[in-house]
């Protein structure tokens, strides 16, 4: 099979060897006659814009978990699959677990300034409510890592699909989920329905002193409403890994806000070695007419 690598040039040295090792029957290239390609491996920032000449491509395989940068492309008629990488999921789970524990234990209280602050003892994990917005692959991975610690977990998803060890609330349960969230982890996809989902009214429903951890999408939270909730002390802290514009400008007020921690979109990365095996499986499925894994529902946007 002939496959086009439509991704930024900087990705080629890492990804080409991994992909070829996982799928040796594939001819992987960055150029060629569009009609001659059987599939496209895609990541935002590559040169490809018009997909209409790729008339024989049976699959566009994204290397990103999010597909918001391609889903609205009017020339996309081929099946589109998002990336579900075990390494990415574990990275996200570790990031969320680390920051959840920091919030839970109140680690930021202990400045190294000679003051003996032993007046506040954190609750045990079973006394702490953690809410995960978005119970897809990433949300389930986060829940699976947090559950053995003993947190009281609530999940929210539009479908309300059950997840073992988690009480999952469906679309009409968002307010109830927010009212429980002493620690809120936002992992919803970027769709028209989720833009500014956490606006001033919804942030006000969070318990006093709640932490917000957002490694999902920068569009989920109204930035001004978040700063206002932090400024008045209703929210305790926000850990933000994703933003509307990246890299986050050096003069952005988030950098200097005392109740905001900025991390540079590092919560979860697609690991070439493990992701290449996912790509290889899907390429073989597409070529043989078997069901493609992680196929994007274009009506839902993910």
Catalytic residue among 82, 180, 217, 294: 217
- Paired residues of 155 in beta bridges: 132, 168
Q: Please state, in angstroms and as integers, the Cα–Cα distance from residue 269 to each residue in 51, 124, 134, 254, following that order.
A: 26, 31, 18, 23
Quote the CA–CA distance of 220 and 262 in Å, as a whole number. 16
Structure tokens at 189: 């996809």
Question: Quick check: helix, strand or coil at residue 184?
Answer: strand
Which residue in the list 20, 176, 252, 265 is annotated as catalytic?
265
The stretches of the chain forming alpha helices (DSSP H) are 12-22, 86-105, 137-146, 174-180, 200-203, 223-231, 272-288
Q: Measured between alpha carbons, how far is 302 from 297 in angstroms, rounded to an integer? A: 6
From first CA to last CA, the distance across the chain in angstroms is 27
Q: What are the structure tokens assigned to 119, written together?
A: 């007046």
Nearest Cα neighbor of 142 from 178, 87, 97 is 97
Active site (annotated) includes residue 217:
yes
CB 35 within 8 A of CB 53: yes
Task: Fill in the DSSP letter of residue 130.
Answer: E
**C-alpha neighbours within 13 Å on the C-beta side of residue 49:** 1
Is-contact 110 163, C-beta < 8 A? Answer: no
Annotated active-site residue 265? The verdict is yes
Q: Which residues are catalytic?
A: 217, 265
């Amino acid at each position: 099979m002939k496959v086009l690598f439509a991704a930024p040039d900087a990705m080629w040295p890492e990804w080409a060897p991994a992909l070829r090792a996982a799928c040796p029957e594939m001819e992987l290239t960055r150029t060629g006659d569009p009609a001659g390609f059987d599939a496209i491996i895609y990541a935002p920032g590559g040169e490809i814009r018009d997909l209409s000449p790729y008339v024989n491509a049976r699959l566009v395989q994204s290397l990103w978990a999010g597909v918001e940068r391609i889903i609205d492309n009017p020339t996309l008629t081929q099946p589109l699959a998002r990336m579900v990488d075990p390494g990415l999921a574990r990275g996200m789970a570790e990031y969320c677990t680390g920051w959840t524990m920091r919030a839970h234990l109140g680690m930021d209280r202990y400045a190294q300034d000679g003051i003996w602050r032993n007046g506040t003892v954190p609750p045990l994990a079973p006394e702490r409510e953690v809410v995960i917005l978005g119970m897809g692959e990433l949300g389930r991975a986060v829940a699976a890592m947090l559950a053995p610690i003993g947190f009281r977990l609530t999940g929210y998803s539009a479908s309300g699909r059950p997840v073992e060890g988690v009480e999952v609330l469906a679309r009409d349960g968002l307010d109830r989920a927010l009212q429980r969230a002493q620690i809120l982890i936002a992992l919803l996809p970027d769709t028209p329905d989720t833009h500014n989902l956490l606006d001033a009214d919804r942030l006000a429903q969070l318990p006093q002193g709640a932490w917000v951890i957002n490694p999902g999408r920068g569009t989920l939270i109204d930035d001004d409403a978040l700063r206002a909730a932090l400024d008045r002390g209703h929210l305790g802290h926000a850990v933000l890994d994703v933003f509307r514009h990246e890299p986050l400008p050096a003069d952005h007020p988030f950098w200097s806000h005392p109740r905001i921690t900025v991390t540079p979109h590092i919560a979860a990365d697609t690991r070439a070695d493990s992701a290449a095996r996912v790509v290889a499986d899907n390429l073989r499925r597409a070529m043989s007419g078997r069901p493609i894994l992680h196929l994007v529902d274009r009506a839902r946007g993910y």
